[in-house]
Amino acid sequence: MEHLRLLAPFAFGALIVGLAYCQDEPVFKITSLNDHLYKLTTDGGGYTVKVIASVGKDGALLVETGQGRTADDLKAALATLGAADPKYIINTHAHEEHTGGNAVFGDRPVVIGHESLRKRLTSGSYLFNEFPDFALPRLTIANSLSIFFNGEEIRLIAFPGAHDDGDIIVWFTGSRIVCVGGLSNGCHFPSVDGQRGNVLKYPEVVQQLLKILPEDVTIVPGHGEDGSMTDFRAFHNMLVRTIGIISSEMSMGKSLAALQEEDVLRDWASFEGSYVDRNQWIKYVVDGIQKPARKPTIFEPIYLALKAKGVEGALELYHDLKRNHADEYSLGEEDIVYIAYKLNQTKRVPEAMRFFEVCAQEYPAGTYAAYCHQQLADAYRAQGDSDAALKHCREVLRIDPGNARAAAMLKEIEGGR
């Protein structure tokens, strides 16, 4: 689940969950799990991003590297543990808040992931990340692999196809800790990659995990609360029962809108989280049952145009695709805002601003209108253009009057005049 909260409904689902307004200077909190394992957590934008570090006589090994924008903060936090130069990086799947920081560690670490991971990170929306070759997996697994490191066997086991097509778990057998990536979301509804995940496979995969893991392990999901096997069984029970409820209601001819209107999962409201509420979970399941046709995305052609012709050439292509090829591609507000987000994440701010501007112009009442204006306000303020920043702050507050971030920025700028 590449978490961009506002983008959860979009076709990339988990790949883009948790998009929230920019936070100031992300800081990692370090928690000691035992004498050589550490958990580093930060706010990814309304949800928790986790990195696990094994530090000992053999060196350092990381599970995940967080978002690209927090990579330098992660490296600084790891330096306090003597782990800023890891030997191994393990990615549990492709989503950006798991792989985004790979490159900051240079070419020394061996990156490890599922056999599908290298292809994923060099195609589609990941083209905008422009991962250098050394940040891609050099060692891949199809089934399982054991690494003997810092006094214990670390077992990597593939469970692809539920949350994402490249899911693996990382089981620190001696420490009795298992990192399950996107295969659990603590006590919350999970997200599902709309292109490569399969919500209907989730219960089966979690059941397989329940069968192989010992009772005394701690389950560490990529997001959400850590828990026990009892908690993991409760998560599995939720998957089975909610999918069963939705499937049964659909068999009576009820539509997605009807299921949401009737609030068929009201008894499961306690599983709502910061980026998947019960209506979104209903949509994941309905889409999983109905299997709607998936059109090609615009990401690759837009990326290639951006490289060849610059941002105006890429936007010209975008407008042409929207006018003349809308039936051939996935083309919506969420697609263009995601390109803007990717460019912003990789510090290509001028290009990101142009995509945010176009999105705000074309979708003035859209789901992401306030987000686009907030990003433009941030960018203009950083450039010293207070008038433009104020204009976009006011637009955010017009759309979302309770937006505390925009209100605070407006007050600061006006107070400084």
Give residue-wise pLDDT tens across range 349-371: 999 999 999 999 999 999 999 99
Residue 272 belongs to some domain of the structure: no
Residue 114 belongs to some domain of the structure: yes
User: In angstroms, rounded to a whole number, what is the distance separating the alpha carbons of residues 291 and 58?
Assistant: 47
Q: Answer whether residue 211 shows pLDDT above 90.
A: yes
Looking at the structure, tell me whether residues 183 and 119 fall in a common domain: yes
Looking at the structure, tell me whether residues 307 and 238 fall in a common domain: no
Give me the CATH number covering residue 177: 3.60.15.10
User: In angstroms, rounded to a whole number, what is the distance separating the alpha carbons of residues 409 and 397?
Assistant: 11
Looking at the structure, tell me whether residues 236 and 303 fall in a common domain: no
Looking at the structure, tell me whether residues 55 and 130 fall in a common domain: yes
Which tokens in the block code for residue 316? 């010209």
pLDDT in tens, 366-383: 999 999 999 999 999 999
Residue 255 belongs to some domain of the structure: no
- How much helix, strand and coil, in percent to the nearest 5, is found in the chain? 45, 15, 35
Confidence band, pLDDT 50/70/90 cuts, at residue 25 = low
Entry pTM: 0.89
Residue 273 belongs to some domain of the structure: no
Looking at the structure, tell me whether residues 190 and 329 fall in a common domain: no
Q: What percentage of residues in the chain have a pLDDT greater than 90? A: 86
User: In angstroms, rounded to a whole number, what is the distance separating the alpha carbons of residues 298 and 293?
Assistant: 16
Looking at the structure, tell me whether residues 44 and 114 fall in a common domain: yes
User: In angstroms, rounded to a whole number, what is the distance separating the alpha carbons of residues 256 and 249?
Assistant: 10
Count H helices and E strands in the chain, helices first.
Answer: 13, 12
Q: Answer whether residue 417 shows pLDDT above 90.
A: no
Domains of the chain: total:
2
Phi (first) and psi of residue 89, to 5 degrees: -125, 125
Looking at the structure, tell me whether residues 216 and 323 fall in a common domain: no
- SS3 for 89-102 is EECCCCCHHHHCCH
Vertex 185 angle, CA 101 and 59, to 5° = 40
User: In angstroms, rounded to a whole number, what is the distance separating the alpha carbons of residues 25 and 43?
Assistant: 10
Cβ neighbours of residue 174 under 8 Å, at least 6 residues apart? 151, 152, 153
Cβ neighbours of residue 31 under 8 Å, at least 6 residues apart? 38, 39, 40, 41
Residue 42 belongs to some domain of the structure: yes
Looking at the structure, tell me whether residues 196 and 304 fall in a common domain: no
Looking at the structure, tell me whether residues 328 and 200 fall in a common domain: no
Residue 287 belongs to some domain of the structure: no
Of the residues 212, 243, 274, the one at which a domain ends: 243
What mean pLDDT value characterizes the chain?
Answer: 92
Looking at the structure, tell me whether residues 70 and 200 fall in a common domain: yes
Distances, alpha carbon 164 to alpha carbons 113, 128, 158, 167, in Å: 13, 20, 11, 6
Report which of 16, 367, 41 is spatially closest to residue 191, judged by C-alpha positions.
Answer: 16
Strands 144-149 and 139-141: unpaired
Structural domain for 195, as ranges: 5-243
Of the residues 200, 218, 243, the one at which a domain ends: 243
- Over range 277-298, report the average pLDDT: 93
pLDDT in tens, 128-160: 999 999 999 999 999 999 999 999 999 999 999
Looking at the structure, tell me whether residues 168 and 308 fall in a common domain: no
pLDDT in tens, 38-90: 999 999 878 899 999 999 999 999 999 999 889 999 999 999 999 999 999 99
User: In angstroms, rounded to a whole number, what is the distance separating the alpha carbons of residues 102 and 124?
Assistant: 18
Residue 251 belongs to some domain of the structure: no
Q: In the prediction, which pLDDT does 257 show?
A: 97
Of the residues 228, 243, 258, the one at which a domain ends: 243
Give me the CATH number covering residue 367: 1.25.40.10
Which tokens in the block code for residue 262? 């009737």
Vertex 104 angle, CA 101 and 107, to 5° = 115
Which tokens in the block code for residue 14? 């988990």
Q: In the prediction, which pLDDT does 23 show?
A: 46
Amino acid at 386: S
Q: Answer whether residue 340 shows pLDDT above 50.
A: yes
Looking at the structure, tell me whether residues 129 and 52 fall in a common domain: yes
Q: In the prediction, which pLDDT does 346 show?
A: 85
Residue 57 belongs to some domain of the structure: yes
User: In angstroms, rounded to a whole number, what is the distance separating the alpha carbons of residues 89 and 81?
Assistant: 16
Handedness of CA 223, 228, 230, 236 (dihedral sign): positive
